[in-house]
Amino acid sequence: MVDDPKFTPSRRRFLQGAAVAGGAVATGQLAHAQAADPLITDLGEQPWSQYLGDGVDAAPYGMPSRHEAHVVRRNVPWLTADSVSSVNFTPLHEMDGIITPNGLCFERHHGGVADIAMADHRLMINGLVDNQMVFTMEDIMRFPRENRTYFLECAANSGMEWRGSQLNGCQFTHGMIHNVMYTGVPLRLLLEEAGVKTEGTWLLAEGADASGMSRSIPMEKAMDDCLVAFAMNGERLRPEQGYPVRLVVPGWEGNMWVKWLRRLEVGDAPWHHREETSKYTDLLEHGEARRFTWEMDAKSVITNPSPQAPITHGPGPTVLTGVAWSGRGTIPRVDVTIDGGINWHQARMSGPSFEKSMHRFYFEFDWDGSPMLLQSRAHDSTGYVQPTKDALREIRGENSIYHNNGIQTWAVDESGAAENVEIG
Amino acid sequence: MKTTFTLSALLLAGSASLAFAQEAPAPSRDGGYGLGRAALAEEVTAWDIDIRPDGQGLPVGSGDVWTGEELWIAQCSACHGDFGEAVGRWPVLAGGFGTLDGEDPVKTIGSYWPYLSTVWDYVHRAMPYGAAQSLENDDVYAIVAYLMYVNNLVEDDFTLSNENFLDVPLENEANFFMDDRMEVEFPVFTQEPCMENCAESIEITMRAAVLDVTPETAEDEAVVQEAAVTEEVVEEVVEEPAAAAAPDPELIAEGESTFRQCRSCHQVGEGARNAAGPMLNGIYNAQAGTREGFRYSPALVEAGEGGIVWDDAALTAYLLDPRGYIEGNRMAFRGMRDEADIPGLIAYLRAEGGE
């Protein structure tokens, strides 16, 4: 069996009281301890039950338990030239439910994290509008607000896997995603305030950071469900997520969700800026490239077990879980296989099902201790079924970098260890 | 299962629990909310820097290939290489012709980018890395002219201006097309999939462990745990009386903040490595041009051999005017705006990087 630091006692003492592994359960008999568990019988082993803990002034802003210090975003140093224009990854294998805690939301910056005070920020609307305008944050927060839960996925999520299995861990293969409840003003209301001229069919969104991040967005989308958001999961945006204000472009690739949003320009044609020409275009096999591939296709991944979250408990009742999402709607169904796709089972969906939001699925089964090939397959509300990686490659080749939503396979061995593999 | 669902749905239908599904959108108001203010023309001019493929937004100006080369070597080559071939993993900007349909496509301005306006816009808005928007308009024209030259688009006597900007189209423009996933992929990926006995047997064809490029998380965890264990020890160390000549922590903090201008190229402190610029551990009082393994400009090596040692005076002079102090060196930095920031920066380098 594989060691998991989570379940290793903090004190260097063997758990005499631990039940003999799950095998007994499978036979229907109650497991028996070999000796009394000192964590129950010996008060000296339970100082938390005897001595006082921290008071209410110890952590004015609370942090996770110190026993969860391993739950962090991680980066892959070889991916980028430096850590300022780079990316780190959400630890999906350590999470549950559908909401990503603010401190674990992956980061992707092109010029580092801009440090802007709420009072120093300005949002300008210019171009083809009746009135070119400037808003302070105070102005923005006087408009009517909405609360919406959306996933944000980087178009390059799983981009390292186009040519085959590369990284061992769903954090690295699928961690360029987070799912957050935003509070913000519909972009529509700000554009109505400035008055979009009839020829204004495109919007340029621009950030205040040192990369001046800029993306062209069709006016139809801007007027539909985009938000100018200032809060995430009930608190102000984190600096690395665009404090004080970011654009929310539901279901569309994360690069368009411009952080530190400082300007919106209305125009009559797209701008074809760097992040929609040189980058975030999908090179196909024959040398031609798709542009404006905004929507994120339906996708899912099993987060547990996975390479960073092996099975440590041996055979018997096992919880398999994962997440699924679609830029086109909800996820009514996820299929799961443990034999590499010979037979599939419908997983159990649990938790709220919102449009363009992450969904949680579970599949509970009794593991017999033999090797497994785990896969999940998302179905979205439009009828789209998550394809295999080979089916994607057949259409797109291997040079796309972006929009890899192929089915992920984890191989689990007899010890419960999992590895990123491809099968055929 | 199905019955339960129907029953609970019926129960819920009469309650307020479904309210979120029927939520009304935030309301518009006729004539607007009257919030915000009119933007002044000069404010729009200051921020409206975007350029479009049709030339909209281009300012009046011009620059030639040779001027561009000088600017390039000084401000861009540390990351992008002398000819746009790139250093390390920084973006390659030239060459790559004929590679797009091969196994290893090299996507450069010449081989891939559809519009020249994108180059002008991006160089002006975001470059040089770490000193965005510091180039004059004519400098941007010159750098773009140089990039056209190294991509074989123009001869070395070319001058680019707002007048002739649209005359040289980029070859790959025609090879971009609008997202067609809904037409090409959607019909294929909406078939009801097989659920039972879908294959005879399944084999593993590739393993990530063979490549083994995953970051060493186990090692990281060990470090984290060690850090937790040594917390108490660290507290004790902090309690020790400070040495007599201890540097001013406030000055160091100011220097740390100033170092933000430097860190896109330079690393200092534990684990610092050479990057676009040399790592700066022990730089104080060291001979110029001697960080092991860094590819210095000949000018900087000569300066060190000629006796320049990075003491307060030399660092101050260099940081104020890098190119004036050591002519021909390649540090892509124009110099500190405020001399008063330099003592803090030096204190930070000494504190973080040692003597």
The predicted complex's ipTM stands at 0.92
> What confidence tier does B88 reach under pLDDT thresholds 50, 70, 90?
confident
Both A251 and A368 in a single domain?
no
For chain B, residues classed under CATH 1.10.760.10 are 49-175, 249-353
Select from A241, A272, A290 the last residue of a domain. A290
Nearest residue in B to A298, CA atom: B189
* Count of CB pairs separated by less than 8 Å, A with B: 279
Both A197 and A328 in a single domain?
no
- Whether residues A134 and B178 touch (CB distance < 8 A) is answered with no
Which of A11, A208, A57, A189 shows the shortest CA–CA distance to A118?
A208
Exposure letters A392-405 (e unless 16+ CB within 10 A, then b): bbeebbbbbbbbbb
At B41, is the secondary structure helix, strand, or coil? helix
Pairing label, strands A348-350, A227-232? unpaired
Select from A259, A290, A321 the last residue of a domain. A290
Cα B190 → chain centroid: 39
Angle between helices B217-229 and B231-239 (to 10 degrees): 50
Is the Cβ–Cβ distance between B84 and B148 less than 8 Å? no
Lookup: tokens for A131: 């009135």
Residues in Cβ contact with A154 at an 8 Å cutoff, skipping those fewer than 6 apart: A87, A106, A108, A176, A177, A253, A254, A255
pTM equals: 0.83
Lookup: tokens for A142: 């006087």
Q: Is residue A22 part of a domain?
A: no
Q: Which amino acid is at B344?
A: G
Which of A174, A424, A194, A402 shows the shortest CA–CA distance to A301?
A174
Total domains in chain A come to: 2
Best interface-test mutation with B: which of A168, A230, A345 has the largest number of B CBs within 10 A?
Answer: A168
Both A276 and A329 in a single domain?
no
Select from A256, A290, A324 the last residue of a domain. A290
Using CB atoms, which residue from A75, A267, A385 is nearest to B189? A385
Lookup: tokens for B222: 């060990």
Straight-line distance from the first to the last Cα atom of chain A, in angstroms, rounded to the nearest whole number: 27
pLDDT in tens, A10-66: 544 444 444 444 444 445 678 888 899 999 999 999 999 999 999 999 999 999 999
pLDDT of residue B304: 85
Residues in Cβ contact with A266 at an 8 Å cutoff, skipping those fewer than 6 apart: A125, A126, A127, A128, A129, A191, A194, A196, A197, A200, A202, A203, A219
pLDDT of residue A229: 98
Both A251 and A200 in a single domain?
yes
Cite the beta strand spans of A16-112 per DSSP E: 74-75, 88-89
Q: Is residue A282 part of a domain?
A: yes
**Which has the minimum average pLDDT: A1-5, A83-87, A389-393, B172-176?**
A1-5
- Whether residues A169 and B189 touch (CB distance < 8 A) is answered with no
Which of A215, A210, A274 shows the shortest CA–CA distance to B127?
A210
- Whether residues A307 and B206 touch (CB distance < 8 A) is answered with no
Tell me the residue range of the domain where A102 lies.
92-290
Is the Cβ–Cβ distance between B268 and B260 less than 8 Å? no
Kindly tell me if the per-residue pLDDT of A382 is higher than 60: yes
CA distance A206 to A276: 13
Please name the residue that has the structure tokens 């002398």: B82
Which of A109, A75, A107, A73 shows the shortest CA–CA distance to A92?
A73
- Measuring CA to CA, how many Å separate A56 from each of A48, A63, A234, A248? 16, 13, 21, 36
Q: Which of chain B's residues have a Cβ under 8 Å away from the Cβ of A167?
A: 208, 213-214
Nearest residue in A to B1, CA atom: A348
CA distance B37 to B48: 17
Please name the residue that has the structure tokens 């490239």: A289
pLDDT of residue B325: 85
CA distance B21 to chain A (A): 9
Nearest residue in B to A205, CA atom: B50
Fold of B49-175: Cytochrome Bc1 Complex; Chain D, domain 2 (1.10.760)
Using CB atoms, which residue from A192, A267, A386 is nearest to B28? A192
> What confidence tier does B21 reach under pLDDT thresholds 50, 70, 90?
low
Fold of B249-353: Cytochrome Bc1 Complex; Chain D, domain 2 (1.10.760)
pLDDT in tens, B192-246: 999 999 999 999 999 998 877 888 754 444 333 333 333 333 333 333 333 445 6
CA distance B158 to chain A (A): 24
Exposure letters B139-159 (e unless 16+ CB within 10 A, then b): bbbbbbbbbbbbbebbeeebb
CATH of the domain at A184: 3.90.420.10
> What confidence tier does B17 reach under pLDDT thresholds 50, 70, 90?
very low
Residues in Cβ contact with B183 at an 8 Å cutoff, skipping those fewer than 6 apart: none
